[in-house]
Amino acid sequence: MKRLTVPRIRSRKADGVTQEPLVMLTAYTARQAQLLDAHCDLLLVGDSLAQVIYGLPTTVPVTLEMMANHGAAVVRGSYHSVVVVDMPFGSYEASKEQAFESAAYLLKQTGAAAVKLEGGEAMAETVEFLNQRGIPVMGHVGLTPQAVNVLGGYMARGRSDAEAEKIVNDAIALDQAGAFAIVLEGVLEPIAIKATKAVSCPTIGIGASNQCDGQVLVTEDMLGMFERVPRFVKKYEDIASVIEKTVAHYAEEVRERTFPTEEQTYQPKA
């Protein structure tokens, strides 16, 4: 299987219609990427690795080096999906030149095909600058977790008319700037419908209804690694309890000396 390309992802939405929704999940490690790759169109090396892998309270402390290391692992573990790496907070907002330098570093270090950044109209010029210089950009509007200190929390966005209008305008600005896809996070369904109709590129929803051109979730959330997850997550499995049961079993066998057995033990040749 040849790796999908950004233009092929972009063209899955033609004349405003997406026949087959785009499937995206987060991946942070090589083995995880191997397991997800054949089932996905896109793998997102999300800065959500802050909470999921590093136990950080927000995505704000994530660095370019962290994203580069995990991005490289995910590219090594995949051969089919388009790999998109999140640009971390502070690596792209100051200027379009800063953004280009950071994005180029991420593509060089990882071999990924594209980057994702948060923000709408304010980032449109940057998206165009990168795209014109060989770096495809995925946008991200609505609930933008890197702005948690401005937003004051992780609640759904667009409950006021002004906020709803801003989200749609943000999506339009990114589309016109050449974004190849746009994540809509934590927005009310009517806004997701409006934004998806208003842009020529695919929208990828997370907490944004089934009316988007694709869906994304944090893999650990949908696998049931965490007790508490946002309302928009469906837990497809209860992996945490599988891990707990398995580890308890191992611990018991070690304490009883029933592991290892003869089968796992080296003996001198007779």
Residues at the site binding Na ion, with contacts judged by CB under 5 A: 46-47, 86
Of the listed pieces 39-47, 68-76, 102-110, 244-252, which binds ligand KIV according to CB under 6 A?
39-47
- Contact set for ligand KIV, span 61-90 (CB under 6 A): 86
Least distance to ligand KIV, CB of residue 26, Å: 4
Q: Which is nearer to Na ion, 78 or 146 (CB)?
A: 146
Of the listed pieces 43-51, 99-107, 160-168, 245-253, which binds ligand KIV according to CB under 6 A?
43-51
The site for ligand KIV, by CB under 6 A, has a size of 11
The residue from 128, 165, 185, 220 that is catalytic is: 185
Least distance to Na ion, CB of residue 144, Å: 8
CB 159 within 8 A of CB 186: no
- Contact set for ligand KIV, span 218-257 (CB under 6 A): 218
Q: Which does 179 bind (CB under 5 to 8 A by kind): Na ion, ligand KIV, none?
A: none
How many angstroms from the chain centroid is the CA of residue 243?
24
CB 160 within 8 A of CB 166: no
Q: Which is nearer to ligand KIV, 46 or 178 (CB)?
A: 46
Which DSSP string do the residues of 68-111 spell out, in sequence order?
HHHHHHHHHT-SSSEEEEEPPTTSSSS-HHHHHHHHHHHHHHH-
| Residue 116 burial class via C-beta count within 10 angstroms: exposed 0-12, middle 13-18, buried 19 and up | buried
Least distance to ligand KIV, CB of residue 140, Å: 6
CB-closest chain residue to ligand KIV: 46
Q: Per-residue x/- mask for ligand KIV, residues 188 to 207, rule CB under 6 A?
A: ------------------x-
116 is in an annotated binding site: yes
216 forms part of the interface with ligand KIV (CB under 6 A): yes
Q: Catalytic residue at 185? A: yes
Least distance to Na ion, CB of residue 231, Å: 18
Q: Which is nearer to ligand KIV, 46 or 158 (CB)?
A: 46
**76 phi, psi to nearest 5 deg:** -65, -30
Q: Which is nearer to ligand KIV, 49 or 135 (CB)?
A: 49
Q: Which does 203 bind (CB under 5 to 8 A by kind): Na ion, ligand KIV, none?
A: none
CB 124 within 8 A of CB 176: yes
Residues that bind ligand KIV (CB under 6 A): 26, 44, 46-48, 86, 183, 185, 206, 216, 218
Q: Among all residues, which ones are annotated catalytic?
A: 185
Q: Which residues are annotated as a binding site for Mg(2+)?
A: 47, 86, 118
